[in-house]
Structure 1
Amino acid sequence: MTVYEGATAADGRTVCILVSRFNARVTERLLEGAVRTLLECGVGEADLDIVYVPGAWELPLAARRAARRGYAAIVALGCVIRGETAHFDHVSRAATDGLSRVQLTSDVPIGLGVLTPDTLDQALARAGGELGNAGTEAARAALRMADLQRQLGS
């Protein structure tokens, strides 16, 4: 039996982080966690690009463009906080569904660091607070999947 499991070692891989400017108090903390993790895993500063987009809605389009540029992995960071209208449902669904489609059509792994909490406090708890940092987790997932892509071949 052969068992495959992706490693977080960067091995010269290029990575693009997409980060939403909306809810910047949260997304900047996600970005800090993702950058720190990628550098610790061996991604060189010259191999790491950061692309800011207006909000989570714009993440899929930016991801599609990034995938075309040949990155080994993409990390998508955003935060959509539930409000009193259906806006939350539309934006969060569009962001996650769009990122999923980009990943499946491009074969470029995307680490999903898009938070969909009910409150700002819940978001902050997941952006370097008491519940960890979803940016860190998304960065590790992206690297692991990039390594699995290498192991499994085309």
Structure 2
Amino acid sequence: MDASGKRFAVVVSRWNELVTKELLAGALDELRRFGDPEVEVVHVPGTWEIPIVVRKLVTRDNRPDAVLALGCILQGQTPHAKLLGSDVGAALMSLQVEHGVPIAWGVLTPDTQDQALDRSGLKYGNKGREAAQAAIELASVLERL
């Protein structure tokens, strides 16, 4: 995997910032580890707003080689979180297929804040790092094809 000479965009939610700032730090560190590429970071209010920003990024002239979507949707007592996660996931999948730009899923959907923290760098690694690895690999695969 080599990120050298590639452009990446990271769209990160400010909602649940205690978690998303760690996802972002992990993603940026991982991108730098594989070649110090050009990286544009865009902050949005919440996970719901990620797809419209990603759409803008993948349809502009200087589009990135891959995008990382980072957020955290905590489950609550209503089905709101499941609906939000499903809608955002479907929108991002549609964008990446339609525009041919990989969009790495770094959106957590844990039941609790503790689970979110565990997945943003404590017990279970950092899902921002994992999203960066996926983005680098997919950008490399598409470049070879």
TM-score, normalised to structure 1, is 0.90
> Who is 2:55 aligned against?
64
Instruction: Note the C-alpha offset of 1:142.
Output: 0.5
Structure 2 unaligned residues grouped into runs of 5+: none
1:87 corresponds to 2:80: yes
> Who is 2:39 aligned against?
48
| Identity across matched positions, percent | 41
Instruction: Note the C-alpha offset of 1:61.
Output: 0.9
Residue 46 of structure 2 aligns with an amino acid whose one-letter code is G
Q: How does 1:24-35 map to 2 (within 5 A)?
A: 24-35=17-28
1:102 corresponds to 2:120: no
> Who is 2:66 aligned against?
73
> Who is 1:5 aligned against?
none
Instruction: Note the C-alpha offset of 1:81.
Output: 0.5
Instruction: Note the C-alpha offset of 1:86.
Output: 1.6
Instruction: Decide whether the 8 Å contact of 1:81 with 1:117 is kept in 2.
Output: yes
Instruction: Note the C-alpha offset of 1:11.
Output: 2.6
1:144 corresponds to 2:144: no
Alignment RMSD, CA only? 0.8
Partner SS, residue 121 of structure 2: strand
Structure 1 unaligned residues grouped into runs of 5+: 1-7
> Who is 1:116 aligned against?
109
Instruction: Note the C-alpha offset of 1:66.
Output: 1.0
TM-score, normalised to structure 2, is 0.96
Instruction: Decide whether the 8 Å contact of 1:14 with 1:43 is kept in 2.
Output: no
Computing the radius of gyration from Cα coordinates, the structure with the larger value is: 1
2: CA distance, partners of 1:83 / 1:26? 17
Residue 87 of structure 2 aligns with an amino acid whose one-letter code is A
2: CA distance, partners of 1:53 / 1:97? 18
Number of residue-to-residue matches in the alignment: 143
> Who is 1:3 aligned against?
none
